[in-house]
Amino acid sequence: MSDIKKLHDDLHNGKLTRREIIRAGGLLGLGTMAFGLAACAPAADSGKTGSEPKADEVVAPAAKKFRAAYSSVGLAASWVAQGADTMKFIGDLVGIEWKVYDPAFSVDQQRKDIEDIASQDWDFVAIHPLAIEAYVDPVKQLISRKIPVIDIDTKLTDDLSTLDIVTFIEPDNVWMGEQVTTKLMEAIGFKGKVVHTQGALTHTGAQGRAKGFHNIVDQYPDVEVVDETPADWDVDKTRKIWEDLLVKYPDIVAGFCHNDDMALAAYGAVKAAGKENQIYIGGVDGMPPALQAVIDGTLTATAVNPTGRIHGGATWVGYNVVTGKTPAANVPKFIRADGPLVTSKLAPGLLYLSQNLLI
């Protein structure tokens, strides 16, 4: 278990000392905030009436002052699950109680979830849309009730100016697709049969990654894209697609998958077929297993889609708005949150940051 995930569990269960909660703040770059929490959080009875609590006395999580909802696309995706962990960890530090919804990659279920969210009272709401244009009506209902809404990672609607959301926090999906695809093209010498395993086609992040992929491969006439079947972020579906493709096209040399979970599933099929020395695989997100796979040489490349900046950023934006530190009108309507292309040199440091919910 990573340092911060352990700290999250201990904080949530009231097991942290003041010294440890200050350390937690330091790990997140929140030393001042954590120090303030450590100074005011309730402590176990020291038996010394009127005395200042000691640094090693156990403290409880910050009292929950705010209630927030997160509509995820599906917690089976490691990137989404890590993002939810980040939200909860920061929430425990500053007093936000998160309710996380898991629609399991169903557009219909996510709409029901957002309709349920819209029927309740919240201090703020974060939404990671699985499909563009699918949830506009319940989001408008939230906004009409003056509940701040933060859109993360993918667009709620093509023209976000038509929705009075607080902000849209997004990585550069086109750039990530371009960068990883470029590394794959270099690895195969800019020729050969390649596979493009897409996420959900309704998802603007997947659309951006697909555009980035084609921005690169379309430059090379000796590269043939033999399949672009969407696997909808599903690792089992990905593996089946790849098992079939490896029979149909035994001379495949590379594959670009829209997230790391699918990339590792594709690699599993490649390895089972005994072709791990023939086929180069790349993904997106920079999740710990993929970062380790880059270190090990299992994956050729991935790009960091930083949960610490996206999910963590949504948490801080919401907190700043409801506490009055930054009124919603003063929050930029668009926030770019990027991470780097992962190389073998950068991967160890990025692995540490990712394991500790810092990127």
**Angle, in degrees to the nearest 10, between helices 235-248 and 260-272:** 40
Token duo for residue 289: 């297993």
Query: DSSP characters for 120-144?
Result: S--SEEEE--SSTTSSHHHHHHHHH
Report the alpha-carbon distance of residue 155 to residue 177 in Å, rounded: 17
pLDDT of residue 1: 45
Strands laid side by side in the 334-336 sheet: 96-101, 66-71, 124-127, 149-152, 167-170, 334-336
* 15 pLDDT more than 90: no
Residue 123 has phi, psi (to 5 degrees) of -80, -35
Distance CA 185, CA 196 (A): 13
**Mean pLDDT, to the nearest integer, of 140-159?**
97
Q: Which token pair is 300? A: 């050729």
265 to 193, 270, 287, 313, 345: CA distances (angstroms): 19, 9, 14, 29, 24
The pLDDT of residue 141: 98
pLDDT in tens, 75-134: 999 999 999 999 999 999 999 999 999 999 999 999 999 999 999 999 999 999 999 999
Q: Are strands 16-17 and 58-59 parallel, antiparallel or unpaired?
A: antiparallel
User: What stretch of H or E contains 246?
Assistant: helix 235-248
CATH topology assigned to domain 64-169+307-339? Rossmann fold (3.40.50)
Q: What integer is the mean pLDDT of 152-181? A: 97
Q: Is 267 helix (H, G, I), strand (E, B) or coil?
A: helix
Task: Count the Cβ atoms, other than its own, within 10 Å of residue 236.
Answer: 9
Q: Is the pLDDT of residue 147 over 80?
A: yes
Which pLDDT value is given to residue 64? 85
Q: What pLDDT is recorded for position 161?
A: 95
Phi/psi of residue 282, each to 5°? -130, 150
SS3 label, residue 316: helix
Tell me the whole-structure pTM to 2 decimals. Answer: 0.84
| pLDDT greater than 80 at residue 23 | no
The pLDDT of residue 11: 57
Would you place residue 308 in the very low, low, confident or very high pLDDT band (cuts 50, 70, 90)? very high
> What is the per-residue pLDDT for 75?
98
Whole-number Å distance between alpha carbons of 279 and 8? 39
Q: Say whether pLDDT at 252 is over 60.
A: yes
Read off the pLDDT of each residue in 313-318 and give the average, rounded to a whole number.
Answer: 98
Arithmetic mean of pLDDT, 161-176: 97
Asked whether residue 33 carries a pLDDT value surpassing 90, the answer given is no
The predicted-structure confidence for 279-301, as pLDDT tens digits, reads as follows: 999 999 999 999 999 999 999 99
Instruction: Tell whether domain 173-296 is in CATH 3.40.50.2300.
Output: yes
Q: CA-to-CA distance for 12 and 120, rounded, in angstroms?
A: 24
Please state, in angstroms and rounded to a whole number, the distance separating the CA atoms of residues 63 and 41: 8
Q: Write phi, then psi, for 202 (nearest 5 degrees).
A: -80, -5
Q: Residue 225 corresponds to which tokens in the numbers above?
A: 């894209």
Residue keyed to tokens 């000796």: 222
Q: Residues spanned by CATH 3.40.50.2300 within the chain? A: 64-169+307-339, 173-296
